[in-house]
Amino acid sequence: MKRTLSVAVVALALLAIPVGVANAVTAPDGTDSNPVMSATRGSAEVRTVLEDLAETQSAEQVAAIYDSGVPAEFLWDPEANEFLAAVEIAPTISTFAITALGPGCATGSVCMRNSSNLHYGYIGTGTLSGTWNSINYMYAGNLTTRFTYKNGTGTQTVELKAGVSATLSGTDMVTVTRLAR
């Protein structure tokens, strides 16, 4: 009975912890680093945290997050044209296979464009095999992505780091046969 009761108490305690709350992470030197959230960008939850941070976060802390280049969301005052607060947004990692987003692409998605200006967008992690003809542009999205392709010299693979895109030179086009991220 004691074991069941203690498990129930722990489970209830875990339910009381709000999901996605901004947490200060302690850096190796013992100071608190930037708050990090695992919440949806632009959500009411993120806005509430940003509004709270605006009262305590210094301009230097906001600038440090901006300059760091990490995924973040900012509370912006358009009249003063300044950022009032900032919170890092934890990258979302999908446990699902790569799936089609499209038609079209989104900011963090893998994106390929063919000679007809048709965009193929994909999200998730893993590998996906297929045939995408006449590709002249590739974008890795928010994760390093490997594109396996065929051209006149055989089958090859190019790896693009997160945030990197590649436009094929001249009139060159390839047939992409596999995505891995």
Is the bond preceding 103 in cis, omega lying within 30 degrees of 0? yes
Domain boundaries, the chain: 19-89, 99-180
pLDDT, one tens digit per residue, over 105-144 is 988 899 999 999 999 999 989 999 999 999 999 999 999 9
Indicate if the pLDDT at residue 36 is higher than 80. no
Candidate from 39-43, 91-95, 131-135, 143-147 with smallest mean pLDDT = 91-95
Which class would CATH give 99-180?
mainly beta
pLDDT, one tens digit per residue, over 6-21 is 333 333 332 332 333 3
Q: Which residues fall within 8 angstroms of residue 86, CB to CB, at 6 or more apart?
A: 34, 50, 53, 57, 61, 62, 65, 66, 72, 73, 74, 75
The candidate with the shortest Cα–Cα distance to 43, out of 78, 8, 92, is 92
* DSSP 8-state class, residue 161: -
Identify whether the C-beta of residue 71 lies closer than 8 Å to the C-beta of residue 89: yes
Indicate if the pLDDT at residue 168 is higher than 50. yes
3-state secondary structure 67-101: HHCCCEEEEEECCCCEEEEEEEECCCCCCCCCEEC
Whether the model clears a pTM of 0.85, i.e. scores above it, the answer is no
